[in-house]
């Protein structure tokens, strides 16, 4: 009888744990929700000027979390060697994950805000400021609570890191008024629908901007 009761308790605990894992990964770790407003035609900026260029320079930044510091240092080196901001050296920018943050950040119309206010000191370029943010915020963004590791099997069932922390960091350093269509160059952000396997390209130039779910940079 005792063995039977023990088996029943273990089975009950397993059911509870599996249910908790399912609930956590399919309900509580979903993407940050935001109010989606269609982007109207007034925000459309043409990219027709690219057709007149003999050569189109494209910068693509890979993903990789905190390893985004590597391409940032490369960008910083290129800027210092040429004496020009990276946004003046390339025509089209693209990136995934942390690469998307970099691709949009270096094209922002102004520097991200400082932790204690909008005035940024001892920073000479947007890449300098983004490097500063990565260093200051990496411990918060890329640290994971024990329960998240347990319930996601260390990222097997859901993203390894908590997306809300990245969202909070973006809100801290960028304003709600900064628009995706305000970026200084043509930026293309690939996104994968994990449910359908389809790739969606978010673009800030041309007629495609009317298909954006939002124009607020921090929520895209």
Return the pLDDT at 116. 46
The answer to whether 103 touches 62, Cβ cutoff 8 Å, is no
Nearest to 66 by CA among 209, 202, 169, 191: 169
- What distance in Å separates the CA atoms of residue 151 and residue 139, rounded to the nearest whole number? 21
Q: Which tokens hold the place of 106?
A: 């270096």
Nearest to 129 by CA among 138, 120, 116: 120
- What distance in Å separates the CA atoms of residue 149 and residue 164, rounded to the nearest whole number? 15
At 32, the pLDDT band (50, 70, 90 cuts) reads low
For residue 88, pLDDT over 80 is answered with yes
For residue 1, pLDDT over 70 is answered with no
pLDDT in tens, 57-77: 999 999 888 899 999 999 999
Q: What's the mean pLDDT when you consider all of the chain?
A: 85
Pairing of strands 186-192, 199-203: antiparallel
The overall pTM is greater than 0.85:
no
DSSP string, 117-152: BS---S--SHHHHHHHHHHHHHHHHT---HHHHHHT
- What distance in Å separates the CA atoms of residue 19 and residue 9, rounded to the nearest whole number? 15
Q: Tokens 């949009």 sit at which residue?
A: 104
Q: Which residues have CB under 8 Å from 56's CB, separation 6+?
A: 50, 91, 92
Return the pLDDT at 174. 81
Nearest to 108 by CA among 187, 31, 14, 38: 187
């Amino acid at each position: 009888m005792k063995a039977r009761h023990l088996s029943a308790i273990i089975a009950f605990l397993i059911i509870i744990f599996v249910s908790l894992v399912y609930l956590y990964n399919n309900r509580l770790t979903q993407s940050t929700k935001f109010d989606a407003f269609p982007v109207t035609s007034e925000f459309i900026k043409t990219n027709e000027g690219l057709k007149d260029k003999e050569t189109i320079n494209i910068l693509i930044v890979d993903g990789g979390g905190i390893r985004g510091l590597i391409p940032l240092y490369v960008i910083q080196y290129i800027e210092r060697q040429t004496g020009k901001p990276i946004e003046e050296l390339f025509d089209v920018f693209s990136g995934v994950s942390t690469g998307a943050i970099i691709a949009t950040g270096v094209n922002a119309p102004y520097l991200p805000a400082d932790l204690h206010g909008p005035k940024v000191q001892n920073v000479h370029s947007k890449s300098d400021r983004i490097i500063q943010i990565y260093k200051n915020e990496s411990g918060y963004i890329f640290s994971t609570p024990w329960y998240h590791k347990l319930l996601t099997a260390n990222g097997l069932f859901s993203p390894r890191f908590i997306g809300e922390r990245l969202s909070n960091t973006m809100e801290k350093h960028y304003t709600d008024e900064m628009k995706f269509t305000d970026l200084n160059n043509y930026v293309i952000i690939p996104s994968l629908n994990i449910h359908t396997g389809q790739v969606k390209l978010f673009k800030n130039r041309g007629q495609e901007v009317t298909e954006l779910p939002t124009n607020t940079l921090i929520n895209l």
